[in-house]
Amino acid sequence: MINLLFVFILAVIGISRLVEGAHYSTDVIGGFMCGIILLFGMQFLYEFINEKWLERSSKRNVSL
């Protein structure tokens, strides 16, 4: 539920930047796209590091 609130806030901010005339539509769309790419990249990196960490810690526990 809170995720939907954050998406709504981001959408409203993007639309407000267009209405104010502070940015072109391509700027706002480009910002959204960069944010999405960074989000998925960080999520992949987090899961990759977590997987390696769990794999490493499970090997240590077996050898003890």
Q: What is the C-alpha separation between 29 and 35, in angstroms, rounded?
A: 10
Question: Would you list the domain boundaries of the chain?
Answer: 2-63
Percent of the chain with pLDDT over 90: 58
- 3-34 tens-digit pLDDT: 889 889 989 999 999 999 999 999 999 999 99
pTM of the model: 0.67
- Quick one: pLDDT at residue 61? 61
- 47-62 tens-digit pLDDT: 999 988 877 777 766 5
- Residue 10 makes CB contacts below 8 A (sequence gap 6+) with 32, 35
Q: Could you tell me the CA-to-CA distances from 59 to 3, 27, 51, 63 in Å, in that order?
A: 36, 48, 12, 7
